[in-house]
Amino acid sequence: MTRSIFFGIPHGGTRIPPSVAPLLRPDIDAQFVLSQSDAYSFELFSNLGTDYHALEWSRLVVDANRTPRSRRSSGPVPLVDFDNQPLFIKGKEPSEEQILARIGRWHAPYHAEVARRLEEGNYRLFIDGHSMAATAPARSPDQRGARPLAILGNGGDEDGELAADARTLSCPPAFARQALKLLKQAFDNHPAPPAPHLVSSHGEVMLNRIFRGGYGVCHHSKPEMGRYGLQLELNQGLWCDPHDFCLDSRRLEWMREVLKQWLSELDALRRV
């Protein structure tokens, strides 16, 4: 049990409440909802021997990794999908009152529970756990590009240092660099089961490239008080087919073993 570490899982849910489902495009089905989630991130991060809190609702309903103040089309109540296509039937888009209601019903309680458990548990490392599409969708800054194995974010530059356009870091640069090194070693130490239709386990592990850290890690890390934070993005093509999102259970278990080694070493660092 890695007792110093707590995971947030904001994008692993796939539930759509009955009040929202009739408002969405008619072609949005369970397969599409899964494709717009951090596919199988709940199944991955909830079985690592760490404490966690997960949002059960789809990010099509509310995106807990966006600041509640944002009103962008990809904000806390998204209006478009990953390919910038409208999510809602024309004329059924949520009003400002409805956006505030969704934030109050799902976004705020998720973060309140994460905050409560972090405070009560005296955790030393908060990890916001995500999975990313193997190929970047149109909405992403790296649109249509092939993704690396993993990206760690502490809000800084590619060395983990404070970036020119940033005000704070979620953990010290040296810790971010050490976490990156340990994650690379964990991948190297655990060869992946053969799976020709999936992403190869030989690839790059990056720091603050593409994803530097969203609302979750920024909101819940308090490095000045001894609670470090990292955003973790893992390539979901390592364990599920990038086209039909069919899960490879052997690969998912392999990914758990990679992460367990990494987390054990991070836990030891944070207990010093």
Q: Comparing 123-132, 133-142, 229-238, 259-268, which segment has the lowest mean pLDDT?
A: 133-142
CA-CA-CA-CA dihedral for 152, 157, 160, 163, to nearest 10: -130
Residues contacting 29, CB < 8 A, separation 6+: none
Reported confidence tier of residue 141, pLDDT bands at 50, 70, 90 = confident
* Paired residues of 135 in beta bridges: 146
Sorted by where each starts, the structural domains of the chain and their CATH numbers stand as: 5-12+21-54+121-271 (3.40.630.40)
Tokens representing residue 111 in the block: 């973060």
Query: Would you say residue 1 has pLDDT above 80?
Result: no
Backbone φ/ψ region at 40: left (φ over 0), alpha (ψ -120 to 50), beta: left
pTM: 0.96
Question: Mind listing the pLDDT tens digit for each residue in 149-192?
Answer: 999 999 999 999 998 888 899 999 999 999 999 999 999 999 99
pLDDT band at 3; cut points 50, 70, 90: confident
How would you classify the pairing of strands 125-132 and 51-54? unpaired
* H/E run at residue 7: strand 5-9
Determine the Cα–Cα distance for residues 132 and 37; give it in Å rounded to an integer: 9
For the chain, count helices (H), then strands (E).
7, 6
Angle at the Cα of 54 from the Cα atoms of 44 and 151, rounded to 5 degrees: 55
